[in-house]
Amino acid sequence: MHVSASAAEKASPVSNGGWLLGVCMGLSNVLGYAFVLIVSRSLGPADFGAFSAVNNTAIFLSLPASAFQVVVAAHQARGHAHRSGIGLALLVGGALMLVTAALSPVVADLFHLGSPVSVLLVALMMPAYTLTGAAQGLLLGHRRLAALAGVYVAISAARVVSAIVAAALGVGVVGVFAWLLIAAWAPALMALWLARHHVQKWRRFELGLVQELLTSNGTLAVLLAMTSTDVLLARHLLSPHEAGAYAFAGLFGKVVFWGTQFVALTLVPIASRGAGRRPVAGALGLVLSMGLVAVVVVAAVPTQLVQILGGSEYLDAADVLIAFTCLGTLWALCQVLLFAEMARGHRGLTVVALAGTAVGAVAVLVLDVHTTTAIVTTYATVAAVVVLVGSGRFLLRAGGPGAEVINTEVIDPGPTGL
């Protein structure tokens, strides 16, 4: 039996469950900042530098987990119940674990760690990350947004608890990662338990998903490059003080970018069923509205925000907070369009985003700019081009009569909530 995308989905890209997911993802981000604060203070500058290097490596290696979430959610929303991705997640996670372990001596030497143990502990986290991503995809695909929200909070809460315990015990970098290993597997087991009813065969490897995972992983990598390479360029081109102020002001853009991610996530199951242009347009409108609210707030009290959150050392950043908040809003719009494209199995906008980011970065380097405004303007221009191209592509593809009614298989939404 087939039905069209629901009228509720067309009317609003975010349901009540979606708003709950948004609140919980916001809480997760707050817990993430608390985690960094606890670890930085307990380790001290030198050890925190080592921790950050290894932790950033782990973030990069865990990109496939996010790809699993998007791909699995899209297939579940289309009614492909047999494609849970769990077996393949275990296979990919195991492969990442072996590669990370093999490279651990090199990474330890590169970051002057003195021992590869912390990198080996990160290697053991890889299967947990990919399994969590697949389980989150199952929950998202079946619109169990309350359960998914609980997983997001559990992930961040587990990391905060691990940081508190490590700080109380006075352990070093290796000790922190040992506790983080537990913090990685506990939410993974929770997510798998919540998604257990949506798994038909636990040991089915589903190699047919590999191409989609590679495409989605590439899209996420491009999105990461688009939203992070500006900080690296600022570090290279600006003075240490200016680069520090740039990184601080950039947090305001990231608040908008990460704070609206729930809109992009809740769009994935809808877009995967080709629900036309209205859900995508609704998601873009919602993100734009939230970004404009953030701009108004920042414009009203920029100096006060800097003093409260960063202190007097970062007062130079007050003049550029509005620009960074606007940049974050553009990034958030790009995120919606790229997630919608991933859900539909397309990659054209990813190529545009990659080319734009590369051209922008090269332009900044070649022109040898030495101002914050020039870097922000360049990256904002790139993001604006991606938004315009992406919006145009969706309007053209869904522009025909009846384009908003796409036949799709009925799926069992499963039990809701936790």
The answer to whether residue 22 is domain-embedded is: yes
pLDDT for 11 equals 46
Q: CA-to-CA distance for 240 and 246, rounded, in angstroms?
A: 10
pLDDT for 117 equals 95
Does the residue 404 lie in any domain? no
- What total number of domains does the chain contain? 1
d(CA 289, CA 416): 29
pLDDT digits (tens, 9 = 90+) for 375-392: 999 999 999 999 999 998
396, with CB counted inside 10 A (0-12, 13-18, 19+), is exposed
Question: How far from 1 is each of 79, 141, 287, 364, 408, CA to CA, in Å?
Answer: 11, 18, 34, 54, 8
Specify if 408 maps to a domain: no
pLDDT at 45: 61
Measure CA 78 to chain center: 23
pLDDT number for residue 243? 77
Residue 258 lies in a domain: yes
Could you tell me if 179 and 212 are in contact, meaning their C-beta atoms sit under 8 angstroms apart?
Answer: no
Nearby residues of 109 by Cβ (< 8 Å), 6 or more positions away: none
Task: Report pTM.
Answer: 0.72
The boundaries of the domain holding residue 277 are 2-397
318 within a domain of the structure (yes/no): yes
DSSP string covering 180-194, please? HHHHHHHHHHHHHHH
Low-confidence spans in the chain with pLDDT less than 50 = 1-5, 7-11, 399-418
Is residue 210 assigned to a domain?
Answer: yes
Residue 52 lies in a domain: yes
Give the number of other CB atoms < 10 A from CB of residue 231: 15
**Residue 254 belongs to some domain of the structure:** yes
**Residue 307 one-letter amino acid:** Q
Cβ neighbours, 10 Å, residue 405:
14
Structure tokens given for 41 = 């203070």
3-state secondary structure of 392: helix
